[in-house]
Amino acid sequence: MRSKGRGTSYAVAASGQWTDEEEGRRRLPAGEVHAWEPGRNETVCGLPLSRSRLSRFAGVTWADTFPDSGGAADGVQRRCPRCASVAGRRGSDARPAWHRTNPRP
């Protein structure tokens, strides 16, 4: 299992797609989305792309799937929680970052 390196940016793989007519017929993810590293044939959570019938969206970043980003979130219905734990959670379902408030000596 590979560990997440600093500065790793994740693209998106999704169960569906829709076309944005305003941005020149740009293909965008819809349905359930997963984080995906370009160059690999599986999502961050371990699903094989071809067997799961997920479409790749190399031009869409993981951060664009959140509603507050103003990106490609219009068709997204669900973000994979396992992928979100690796790629990062933002938005209304985000938990606060864990930190120790009273460390032991």
Mind listing the pLDDT tens digit for each residue in 40-95? 999 999 999 989 999 999 889 988 888 877 777 888 899 999 998 888 876 545 56
Whole-prediction pTM: 0.76
Q: What is the pLDDT of residue 96?
A: 61
Q: What is the pLDDT of residue 1?
A: 43
> Across residues 29-42, what is the average pLDDT?
92
pLDDT band at 32 (very low <50, low <70, confident <90, very high): very high
**Residue 19: pLDDT over 50:** yes
**Residue 5: pLDDT over 70:** no
Find tokens 């970052």 and name the residue.
97
User: Helix, strand, coil % (nearest 5) of the chain?
Assistant: 15, 35, 55
**Residue 7: pLDDT over 70:** no
> Across residues 27-46, what is the average pLDDT?
92
CB contact at 8 A, 34 and 44: yes
